C-alpha cells in the first residue's frame, strides 16, 4: 500500500513488528524499495495486517466513543471540559504498548530523534488537540445532531487542502471521487438526523457559536492530522511502532493537562459531584461511562495516528469519515432513533462506495510501484 510520499513498510526483526517509513519525503512508490529484498512479500502482508488493525481500532474506538459520549449527555452529563478530558485522559494504558513495541533509539544508530524538537512537536500538537477537542465538544453541546453532522462533513475537504499543501499529497481522480462520496454520505447522515428542536432552549447566539466552533474543529482536526504526518516525516526519526505510541502518549499528556486546567478555571469541577449523583443510571454507571469513553478515545486515536504513520493523514481521515454512517445504526438500536426512510442506509452505501474508491486508488498505486521496481 502506498500513499503519496509517506510510504511505510513493515519490518520484522527478532519476532517483533516494526513499521518503517523513510526519513525524508520520497516520490510515489518509494516503499517498494523494500520489495527488492527477498522477504518483501512477508513484510507486505505484515504491513497490511498492521494497517487492518489500525483501521479496526479507529472504527471500533470512534463508534463506541461517540455512543458513550451521547450516553453521557443523555443521562444528565453536562460538562464540556469533562468530555474534553475524556478524549485524551486514557493515555496511560498505552504505556503497556511500549512493552511490546519498545523504543530502539538507544542503539546509537543515526535514527535518533532530536529531543528538544520532538518535545516541542508534542507540546504544540497537544495544545492544538486540546483546542480541537474543546471546540468539537462545544459544537455538540450547542447544536442539534443534524446540524452538527452536516458541518462535520466539511472535515474531509479541509483534509484534502492541508494534505496537498503540507504533505504534498498527490490527488487522483479516485481520491476526489472518494472524498466527494464520503462528504455526501456524511451530509446524508446529517439530514437523516432529527431536525432542530426549538424547545431545546439554545439561544441564537449560542447556536451561531456552535456553528463556528464545529467548523473550527473540523478545520483544526484536519490540520492536526497533516501536522502529525509532517512531524513523522521530518522530526521523529524513530522508525518503529513506538513512535506512534509516543506521539499518542505525549500529545495526550499535554492535552489532558490543558483540560484539567480548563475544568478548574471554568469552575465546572464544582458541579461534577452533583453530576455524578444525578446521573440517571447511577454513580457506578457514571464512572464506567467516563472510563470506557476514555479507553475508546485512546483506541480511536491510536488507530488514527497509526494510519498517519503507516499510510497518510488523508487516508486516516478517509477511514474515520467513512465509519461515521455506522454510528446512526447503533443510535437506532441503542437510543431507538428513527430510521428516517432509509436515508441512513443510503448514507452507509455511499460511504462504502467512497471507501472502496480510495482503497482501489491504493491498489493501483501499489501495483504501479511494484511494476516500476521489478
Ligand X SMILES: Nc1nc2[nH]cnc2c(=O)[nH]1
**Contact stretch for ligand X (CB under 6 A) within 43-51, 215-223, 284-292, 350-358:** 215-223
Closer to ligand X at the Cβ: 217 or 290? 217
Nearer to ligand X, 1 or 140 (CB): 140
Residue of 132, 186, 238, 268 that binds ligand X (CB under 6 A): 132
Distance CA 116, CA 113 (A): 9
- Kindly state the smallest distance separating residue 324's Cβ from ligand X, in Å: 8
Nearer to ligand X by Cβ, of 139 and 144: the residue is 139
Residues 6+ apart with CB under 8 A from 255: 87, 88, 126, 127, 129, 130, 133
**How far is the C-alpha of 28 from the C-alpha of 332, rounded, in Å?**
43
Residue 12 pairs in a beta bridge with 17
**Contact status: 90 vs ligand X (CB under 6 A):** no
Distance between CA atoms of residues 22 and 9, nearest Å: 9
Considering beta carbons, is residue 133 or 233 the nearer one to ligand X? 133
Least distance from ligand X to the Cβ atom of residue 367, Å? 31
CB atoms within 10 A of CB 346: 15
Q: Which is nearer to ligand X, 155 or 167 (CB)?
A: 155
- Helix, strand, coil content of the chain in percent (nearest 5): 75, 5, 25
Binding marks (x or -) toward ligand X, 314..353, rule CB under 6 A? ------x---------------------------------
The nearer residue to ligand X, 30 or 327, going by C-beta atoms, is: 327
155 versus 163: smaller Cβ distance to ligand X: 155
Minimum CB separation from ligand X for residue 320, in Å?
6
| Nearer of residues 5 and 149 to ligand X, judged by Cβ | 149
Q: Which of 125, 130, 179, 217 binds ligand X (CB under 6 A)?
A: 217
Q: Which residues pair with 267 in a beta bridge?
A: none
Q: Identify the three-state secondary structure at position 20.
A: strand
By CB under 6 A, name the one of 221, 250, 355, 358 that touches ligand X. 221
Q: Tell me the residue nearest to ligand X as measured from the CB.
A: 221
Cell 432529527 sits on residue: 194
| Beta carbons within 8 Å of 210's beta carbon, 6+ residues apart | 138, 139, 141, 142, 143, 147, 148, 202
Q: Which stretch binds ligand X (CB under 6 A): 36-44, 216-224, 287-295, 351-359?
A: 216-224
Q: Which three cell numbers stand for residue 272?
A: 461534577
- Quick one: which of 218, 248, 313, 322 contacts ligand X (CB under 6 A)? 218
Q: Which residues, numbered 133-152, are part of the site for ligand X (CB under 6 A)?
A: 133, 136
Nearest to 352 by CA among 100, 178, 98: 178
Contacts of 266 (CB under 8 A, 6+ apart): 81
Residues in the interface with ligand X (CB under 6 A) total 8
DSSP assignment of 32-88: GGGGGSTTHHHHHHHHHHHHHHHHHHHHHHHHHHHHHHHHHHHTT---HHHHHHHTT
Say how far apart CA 319 and CA 304 lie, in whole Å. 9
Point out which residues bind ligand X (CB under 6 A).
132-133, 136, 155, 217-218, 221, 320
Amino acid at each position: 500500500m502506498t500513499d503519496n510520499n509517506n510510504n511505510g513498510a513493515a519490518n520484522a526483526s527478532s519476532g517483533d513488528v516494526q513499521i518503517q517509513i523513510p526519513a525524508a519525503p520520497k516520490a510515489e512508490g518509494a516503499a517498494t524499495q523494500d520489495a527488492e529484498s527477498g522477504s518483501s512479500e512477508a513484510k507486505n502482508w505484515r504491513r497490511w495486517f498492521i494497517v487492518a488493525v489500525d483501521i479496526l481500532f479507529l472504527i471500533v474506538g470512534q463508534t463506541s466513543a461517540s455512543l458513550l459520549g451521547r450516553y453521557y449527555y443523555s443521562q444528565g452529563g453536562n460538562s464540556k471540559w469533562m468530555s474534553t478530558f475524556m478524549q485524551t485522559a486514557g493515555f496511560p494504558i498505552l504505556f503497556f504498548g511500549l512493552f511490546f513495541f519498545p523504543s530502539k533509539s538507544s542503539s546509537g544508530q543515526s535514527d535518533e530523534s532530536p529531543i528538544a524538537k520532538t518535545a516541542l512537536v508534542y507540546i504544540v500538537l497537544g495544545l492544538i488537540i486540546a483546542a480541537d477537542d474543546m471546540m468539537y465538544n462545544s459544537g455538540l453541546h450547542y447544536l442539534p445532531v443534524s446540524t452538527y453532522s452536516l458541518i462535520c462533513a466539511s472535515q474531509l475537504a479541509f483534509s484534502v487542502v492541508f494534505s496537498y499543501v503540507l504533505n504534498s499529497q498527490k490527488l487522483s481522480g479516485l481520491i476526489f471521487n472518494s472524498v466527494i462520496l464520503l462528504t455526501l454520505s456524511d451530509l446524508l447522515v446529517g439530514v437523516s438526523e432529527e431536525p432542530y428542536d426549538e424547545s431545546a432552549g439554545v439561544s441564537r447566539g449560542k447556536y451561531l457559536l456552535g456553528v463556528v466552533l464545529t467548523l473550527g474543529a473540523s478545520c483544526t482536526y484536519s490540520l492536526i492530522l497533516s501536522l502529525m504526518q509532517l512531524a513523522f516525516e521530518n522530526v521523529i526519526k524513530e522508525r518503529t511502532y513506538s513512535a506512534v505510541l509516543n506521539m499518542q502518549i505525549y500529545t495526550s499528556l499535554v492535552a489532558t493537562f490543558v483540560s484539567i486546567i480548563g475544568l478548574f478555571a471554568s469552575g465546572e469541577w464544582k458541579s461534577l459531584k452533583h453530576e455524578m449523583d444525578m446521573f440517571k443510571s447511577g454513580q457506578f454507571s457514571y464512572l464506567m461511562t467516563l472510563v470506557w469513553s476514555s479507553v475508546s478515545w485512546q483506541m480511536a486515536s491510536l488507530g488514527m495516528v497509526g494510519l498517519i504513520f503507516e499510510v497518510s493523514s488523508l487516508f486516516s481521515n478517509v477511514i474515520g469519515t467513512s465509519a461515521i454512517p455506522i454510528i446512526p445504526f447503533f443510535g437506532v438500536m441503542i437510543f431507538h432513533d428513527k430510521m428516517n426512510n432509509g436515508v441512513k442506509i443510503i448514507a452507509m452505501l455511499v460511504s462504502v462506495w467512497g471507501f472502496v474508491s480510495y482503497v482501489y486508488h491504493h491498489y493501483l498505486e501499489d501495483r504501479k510501484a511494484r511494476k516500476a521496481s521489478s
